[in-house]
Structure 1
Amino acid sequence: MAVPATKVELLAAVDRTFDLLDRDLDRVPSELAREKVLPGHVKDTLMSPADLLAYLIGWNEQVLTWHRRRAAGLPDQFPAAGIAWNDLGALAQRFYAERASVSWEDLRVEFREVKDRILSLIEGFQDEDLYGEPWYGKWTMGRMISLNTSSPYANARRRLRAWLKTLPQA
């Protein structure tokens, strides 16, 4: 899928990549959801499908936080409070820990809900807002949203599908 360059394309990318990933998440046996079977976001580590979902929820929430802070006139905290861009592994670990006790079913619900909040956020902007000028560094707002939603959804799907292929077929 091409990099979104309009509001319509961004909405479609988030929806499409979410829907594809969601169908693959349906295939994860709930009894394996907390098993460390996927390559982690930190070198030489493993994560569970639940950790992967926690990571995606965390990044979606982070996007929403960036926008809430800007709307409130607060200073930016990129990528997150207390985290530098060169320490994203620590942020991934934080996301895993924040949802370590959340059930697979509840993670699935939370993921759908945060994706819907991202879509609502996007709906509130026009093409010019999303793609007319840099929003953070050289990146437009729309690009920052896609870099932290639809792009990670696609990456997560690749990781998940590779693992699902190793499972015995029922």
Structure 2
Amino acid sequence: MQEYKNKEELIAEIEKTAHLFITEFDSVEEGDQDKILEGVDRSPAQMIAYQLGWMNLLLGWDRDELAGKEVVTPALNYKWNKLGGLYENFYKQYEACTLSELKSLYRECVAELILWLDSFSDEDLFGQDVRKWASSTPSKWPIWKWIHINTVAPFQTFRSKIRKWKKLNRAAIQ
């Protein structure tokens, strides 16, 4: 896993990988957003919904903790070892959106995430036990690691998935 010296490096990496991921969808036709192809486990719409779901969970965990609410990670009624249902919930939440709407929601969420991230000091972002939600698992990760695992890492992984999906879709059309 990549290590960061400060929040500016993390923000720059999020901005870069977020942009690379979402621009892959510029060449996907609106009518193909829900198409699942053999060899890729998600449709283009599901790939974006997955990203939106995790970014919104991060933001929500922090918002809830600051409001004095008890935070349940990953989400109420979901366990870390059974995330399939959570992903299905993400897909259902955004299923009525067009591809264009999903891309717009994604860009807005990334911008909100960057603003939230910028509100932390380096000490808070890289320190231990700053937020209860970040210390809620045995790993007791600092906040930056939660952010990386739920943004940069999947942006990169899913960029490969959408590229594979586009290649398979082109081959199926020809």
**TM-score (norm: length of structure 2):** 0.87
Over 3 Å counting, the alpha-carbon distance change for 1:38 and 1:17 in structure 2 is farther
Q: Which of 149, 152, 156 does residue 150 from structure 1 map onto?
A: 152
Residues 74 and 5 (structure 1), Cα distance of their counterparts in 2 relative to 1, 3 Å cut: farther
Contact 1:38 / 1:49 at 8 angstroms: preserved in 2? no
Task: Specify the alignment match of 1:22 in structure 2.
Answer: 22
Q: Distance in 2 between matches of 1:105 and 1:150?
A: 22
Give identity over the alignment, percent.
30
Kept in 2: contact 1:4–1:143 (CA 8 A): no
Matching of residues 1-170 of structure 1 within 5 Å: 2-37=2-37, 46-134=41-129, 135-136=134-135, 137=137, 138-168=140-170
**Counterpart-to-counterpart distance in 2, 1:38 and 1:95:** 21
Secondary structure of 2:170's partner?
Answer: coil
Deviation of 1:38 after TM superposition, in Å, equals 6.8
Query: 1:122 offset after TM fit, Å?
Result: 0.4
Q: What secondary structure, in the 3-state scheme, does the structure 2 residue paired with 1:87 have?
A: coil
Cα separation, 1, equivalents of 2:56 and 2:72 = 13
The unaligned stretches of length 5 or more in structure 2 are none
Count of residues in correspondence between the two structures:
165
- Alpha carbons 1:36, 1:48 under 8 Å: kept: yes
- Mapped partners of 1:114, 1:77: distance in 2: 21
Contact 1:17–1:154 (8 Å) recurs in 2? yes
CA distance in 2, matches of 1:139, 1:27: 37
Asked if structure 1 preserves the Cα contact closer than 8 Å seen for 2:37 and 2:168, the reply is no
Pick closer, same or farther for the CA change 1:39–1:57 going to 2, 3 Å: farther
* Structure 1 or 2: more strand by fraction: 1
RMSD: 2.0
Confirm or deny: 8 A CA contact 1:57 1:114 kept in the other structure: yes
- SS in structure 1 of the partner of residue 35 of structure 2: coil
Q: Name 1:43's counterpart in structure 2.
A: none
Check whether the contact 1:38–1:48 (CA below 8 A) recurs between aligned residues.
no
TM-score (norm 1): 0.89
2:71 is paired with a residue of what secondary structure? coil
